[in-house]
Amino acid sequence: DGGITQSPKYLFRKEGQNVTLSCEQNLNHDAMYWYRQDPGQGLRLIYYSQIVNDFQKGDIAEGYSVSREKKESFPLTVTSAQKNPTAFYLCASSMQGHTNQPQHFGDGTRLSIL
Amino acid sequence: KQEVTQIPAALSVPEGENLVLNCSFTDSAIYNLQWFRQDPGKGLTSLLLIQSSQREQTSGRLNASLDKSSGRSTLYIAASQPGDSATYLCAVRDADKLIFGTGTRLQVFP
């Protein structure tokens, strides 16, 4: 089945550590997105990529980094510079240039501090 | 800057009721508006997408309307069921990204 796979489902980070969240899609979508969700809040955009080897900062990019070396993959690294990383992270994808197509979401990764 | 607001923040209704969830946005220059459902600890499931040129979309017991000029959308759920219990999020699309509201947490009790 086509979809978006995020791993791991749960992740724990130690002080000063970088951690990487995986996002893979087999929908042949050009655009991919990373969101952060805090309790009782909507989703906030961290980074997005509309094409391979290109990405743009979203509203809360500080303390995060991404890469887009393959169309199918858009990993997110939470660096030690992100002082409040505990949140639910969601990856999404959509057809680029097709505003009549919805965004599809993975099942998320919950990141906590040890 | 686009802001999206959802009212109410939480809603609890008995099974069988028809209900309306509200979404408002400050900038009418949108490409589309999307309604999502989120179950606890899960990702988002797309329910309905309304293009900026459309007035409404329907899927089963769900009907979403869009009034772009007034910056409002409603999600109507007919004959609610306990399985409809979830958080409902609306999001508007600008040129290349979605801007989300904070959601309405719905509980339908038997």
Per-residue model confidence as pLDDT tens for chain B (110 residues): 899 999 999 999 999 999 999 999 999 999 999 999 999 989 999 999 999 999 999 999 999 999 999 999 999 999 999 999 999 999 999 877 899 999 999 999 99
More confident residue, A16 or A48: A48
pLDDT at A100: 72
| Contact criterion met (CB < 8 Å) for A48 and B45 | no
Among B31, B42, B46, select the one facing A104 at the smallest CB separation.
Answer: B46
Question: Cβ contacts of residue A92 below 8 Å, gap of 6+?
Answer: A4, A32, A33, A35, A103, A104, A105, A106, B44
pLDDT at A99: 63
Q: Give mean pLDDT, residues A94-100.
A: 72
Chain B neighbors of A41, CB-CB under 8 A: 102
More confident residue, A23 or B41: A23
| Contact criterion met (CB < 8 Å) for A58 and B89 | no
Task: Decide if B41 contacts A110 (C-beta within 8 A).
Answer: yes
Distance in angstroms (rounded) separating the CA atoms of residues A42 and B38? 11
| Contact criterion met (CB < 8 Å) for B96 and A50 | yes
Residue A2 has pLDDT above 80, yes or no: no
Chain A neighbors of B88, CB-CB under 8 A: none
Residue with tokens 């990529």: A49
Q: Give mean pLDDT, residues A19-45.
A: 93
Chain A neighbors of B44, CB-CB under 8 A: 43, 90, 92, 105
| Contact criterion met (CB < 8 Å) for A99 and B43 | no
Instruction: Give whole-number Cα distances, A34 to A59, A108, A110, B82, B110, in Å.
Output: 11, 10, 13, 31, 37
User: Which of A103, A104, A112 has the highest number of chain B CBs within 10 A, making it the mutation to test binding with B?
Assistant: A103
Task: Decide if A82 contacts A64 (C-beta within 8 A).
Answer: yes
**Any A CB within 8 A of B31 CB:** yes
pLDDT at A24: 97
Short-list A110, A109, A86, A114, CA closest to A7: A109
Instruction: Give whole-number Cα distances, A58 to A114, B37, B103, in Å.
Output: 27, 23, 20
Task: Decide if A104 contacts A28 (C-beta within 8 A).
Answer: no
Task: Decide if B98 contacts A103 (C-beta within 8 A).
Answer: yes
Short-list A36, A51, A18, CA closest to A109: A36
- A83 by Cβ neighbours in 10 Å (0-12 / 13-18 / 19+) ranks as exposed
| Contact criterion met (CB < 8 Å) for B34 and A102 | yes
Chain B neighbors of A88, CB-CB under 8 A: 41
The tokens of A4 are what? 């978006």
Model confidence at A114, in pLDDT bands (50, 70, 90)?
confident
pLDDT at B89: 96
**Any A CB within 8 A of B96 CB:** yes
- Give residue A20's Cα distance to chain centre: 10
Point out which residues pair with A64 in neighbouring strands: A78
Residue A98 has pLDDT above 70, yes or no: no
